[in-house]
Amino acid sequence: MNLPDLERQLAFLKEIDRLKSIVRLTPLIDRSRRENSAEHSWHLAMYALVLAEHAAGTVDVLRVVKMLLIHDIVEIDAGDVPFHVPATHAGQAERERLAAERLFGLLPGAQAAEFRELWFEFEAAESDDAKFAKALDRFQPMLHNAATEGGTWVECEVTLDQVKSRCRPPIERGSPALWAVAEQLAADHFREDSREG
């Protein structure tokens, strides 16, 4: 490793500090504020370490953790687009692809290629590692919403059918056990919500 490589790595690390400023809709469980994308990525990495035994396939936990730590870095350029706001979805995939090229391109060649490949693998969600990573990415906000009396489900007037259509396929593919928990949490919330409404 030479000095120019180190300089590129440090430039990347300084640039990704901006992920701490990307605020998501998901509330913290204590409801004190919304989480930011850096916190979300860290939390998902912990989910992978804790919940790996529930993956549908055989997974390399270190690769899953790497995917989860880098999967939202593109939001530095592309922003976070919640599924509850469909009007913001147009062009998001292309914005994220361009962001991946720019941001990972700050790194030295081999490292840049590795991060890009992991990011594209996560997005495609075809390998067992990526399926599990994607499942966790959809599971975590469901857990937060259930723990905060509906959180963004209530705020954005999301229906149970919308939650299921968005979350069931990736969670069930990556971890049927986690989908069983998520489905029950959502069903309990929406049943309770309909009684109160």
Q: What is the Cβ-side half-sphere exposure of residue 61, based on CA atoms within 13 angstroms?
A: 12
Q: How many helices, marked H, and strands, marked E, lie in the chain?
A: 10, 2
Residue type (1 letter), 133: A
Q: At what angle do helices 109-124 and 92-104 cross, to 10 degrees?
A: 160
Q: HSE of 19 in the Cβ direction (CA atoms, 13 Å)?
A: 21
Of 115, 25, 26, the C-alpha closest to 74 is 115
pLDDT tens sequence across 32-66: 999 999 999 999 999 999 999 999 999 999 999 99
| Structure tokens given for 169 | 């396929």
Q: Please state, in angstroms and rounded to a whole number, the distance separating the CA atoms of residues 103 and 115.
A: 10
Average pLDDT of the chain, as a whole number: 93
The CATH superfamily assigned to 3-23+33-196 is: Hypothetical protein af1432 (1.10.3210.10)
Give the pLDDT confidence score for residue 81 in this predicted structure.
83
What's the CA gap between 49 and 129, in Å, rounded?
13
* Cβ(132)–Cβ(48) below 8 Å: yes
Q: Say if residues 68 and 133 touch (Cβ distance below 8 Å).
A: yes
| Helix, strand or coil, per DSSP, at residue 56 | coil
Strand ranges for the chain from DSSP E: 23-27, 34-36
CA distances for 178 relative to 45, 98, 104, 182, angstroms: 16, 32, 31, 6
Per residue of the chain (197 residues), give pLDDT as tens. Answer: 577 999 999 999 999 999 999 999 999 999 999 999 999 999 999 999 999 999 999 999 999 999 999 999 999 999 888 777 676 767 888 999 999 999 999 999 999 999 999 999 999 999 999 999 999 999 999 999 999 999 999 998 999 999 999 999 999 999 999 999 999 999 999 987 565 65
